[in-house]
Amino acid sequence: MKTFEKSNGFYQVFERKSGPAKEATHYCPGCGHGNVHKMIAESMEELGLTKRTVFVSPVGCSVFGYYYFDCGNFQAAHGRAAAVATAVKRTNPDAIVISYQGDGDLAAIGTAETIHAANRGENITVFFVNNAIYGMTGGQMAPTTMIGQRSATTPLGRKADIHGNPIRMCEMLATLPAPTYIERVAIGHSKHIMKARKAIKKALRIQAEGKGYSFVEIVSACPTGWKMDPVASRDWLVNDMLKVFPLGVFKDEGDNLDDDSWKRHFEPFDKDKVDVYLDRMKSAVGEVEPTVLPKDLNCKFAGFGGQGILTLGLFLSQIGMRGGHHVSWFPAYGPEMRGGTANCSVNLSTNRIGTPLVDHPNVLVVMNQPSLDLFEKDVVDGGTIIIDSTVVEGTADTKRLNVVTIPASDIADEVGTPKVANVVILGALVAATDAFTPEFCESTLRAIIKKKSLIDMNMEAFRRGYDFVKNS
Partner 1 sequence: MAKQFMKGNDAIIVGALAAGCRAYYGYPITPASEVAHAAALHFPALGGVFIQAESEVSAINMVYGTAGMGIRTMTASSSPGFSLKQEGLSYCAGAELPCVVVNIVRGGPGLGNIAPEQADYFQITKGGGHGNYRLIALAPNGAQEMCDLTMKAFELADKYRNPACIMADGITGQMMEVVDIPKGVTDLPDHSEWSVTGEPETSGNLVSSIVLDPHDLEDHNLKLDAKYKEIMANEVIFEEYKTEDADLIVVAYGVVSRIVYSTVDMARKQGLKVGLLRPITLWPFPTEVIARLAGTASQFLAVELSTGQMVEDVQLAVNGKVPVHFYGRCGGVVPGSKELLDEFTKIMEGVTQS
Ligand X SMILES: Cc1ncc(C[n+]2csc(CCOP(=O)(O)OP(=O)(O)O)c2C)c(N)n1
Binding mask 391-430 for ligand X (x = CB under 6 A): ----------------------------------------
> What are the C-alpha distances in Å from 456 to residues 286, 408, 414?
20, 17, 13
- Residue 142 binds to ligand X (criterion: CB under 6 A): yes
Report the residue from 4, 14, 27, 301 that binds ligand SF4 according to the rule CB under 6 A: 27
Residue with Cβ nearer ligand SF4 (30 or 308): 30
- Residue 92 binds to partner 1 (criterion: CB under 8 A): yes
List strand residue ranges (DSSP E) for 356-467, in order: 363-366, 384-388, 402-406
**Cβ contacts of residue 178 below 8 Å, gap of 6+?**
118, 119, 120, 121, 212, 213
Contact 469, 432 (CB under 8 A): yes
Of 298, 297, 329, nearest in space to 436 by CA: 297
- Residue 57 binds to ligand SF4 (criterion: CB under 6 A): no
Contact 136, 59 (CB under 8 A): yes
Q: For residues 20-59, which are near ligand X according to CB under 6 A? A: 59
Minimal distance in Å, beta carbon 51 to ligand SF4?
28
Minimal distance in Å, beta carbon 237 to ligand SF4?
12
> What are the C-alpha distances in Å from 285 to residues 137, 156, 430, 464?
63, 75, 18, 23
Contact 132, 143 (CB under 8 A): no
Minimal distance in Å, beta carbon 216 to partner 1?
20
Binding mask 71-100 for Mg ion (x = CB under 5 A): ------------------------------
Q: What does 31 interact with, of ligand SF4, ligand X, partner 1, none (CB < 5 to 8 A by kind)?
A: ligand SF4
d(CA 285, CA 87): 39
Binding mask 127-156 for Mg ion (x = CB under 5 A): ----x-------------------------
Q: For residues 124-163, which are near ligand SF4 according to CB under 6 A? A: 131, 135-136
> Residue 109: how many CA atoms within 13 Å on its side-chain side?
15
Q: For residues 184-223, which are near partner 1 according to CB under 8 A? A: none
Cα-Cα end-to-end distance for the chain:
98
Q: What does 28 interact with, of ligand X, Mg ion, ligand SF4, none (CB < 5 to 8 A by kind)?
A: ligand SF4
Buried/exposed code over 247-281 (b: 16+ C-beta within 10 A; e: otherwise): beebbebbeebeeeebbeeeeeeeeeeeeeeeeee
Q: What distance lies between CA 353 and its chain's CA centroid?
A: 33
Q: What does 97 interact with, of ligand X, partner 1, Mg ion, none (CB < 5 to 8 A by kind)?
A: partner 1
Residue with Cβ nearer Mg ion (109 or 374): 109
Q: For residues 354-373, which are near partner 1 according to CB under 8 A? A: 354-357, 359-360
Query: What are the φ and ψ backbone dihedral angles of 344, each rounded to 5 degrees?
Result: -145, 155
Contact 408, 301 (CB under 8 A): no
Q: For residues 206-235, which are near ligand SF4 according to CB under 6 A? A: 222-225
Contact 53, 71 (CB under 8 A): yes
- Residue 33 binds to ligand SF4 (criterion: CB under 6 A): yes
Contact 361, 386 (CB under 8 A): no
Minimal distance in Å, beta carbon 119 to partner 1?
9
Of 339, 316, 338, nearest in space to 327 by CA: 316
- Residue 103 binds to Mg ion (criterion: CB under 5 A): yes
- Residue 377 binds to partner 1 (criterion: CB under 8 A): no
Residue with Cβ nearer ligand X (80 or 120): 80
Report the residue from 94, 259, 289, 373 that binds partner 1 according to the rule CB under 8 A: 94
d(CA 442, CA 260): 53
Report the residue from 9, 34, 65, 102 that binds ligand X according to the rule CB under 6 A: 102
Longest dimension (CA), the chain: 102
Residue with Cβ nearer ligand SF4 (229 or 260): 229
Residue with Cβ nearer Mg ion (131 or 207): 131
d(CA 412, CA 431): 17
- Residue 277 binds to partner 1 (criterion: CB under 8 A): yes
Contact 179, 173 (CB under 8 A): yes
Site size toward Mg ion (CB under 5 A) is 3
By CB under 6 A, name the binding residues for ligand X: 59-62, 78, 102-105, 129, 131, 133-137, 142
By CB under 6 A, name the binding residues for ligand SF4: 27-28, 31, 33, 61, 131, 135-136, 222-225
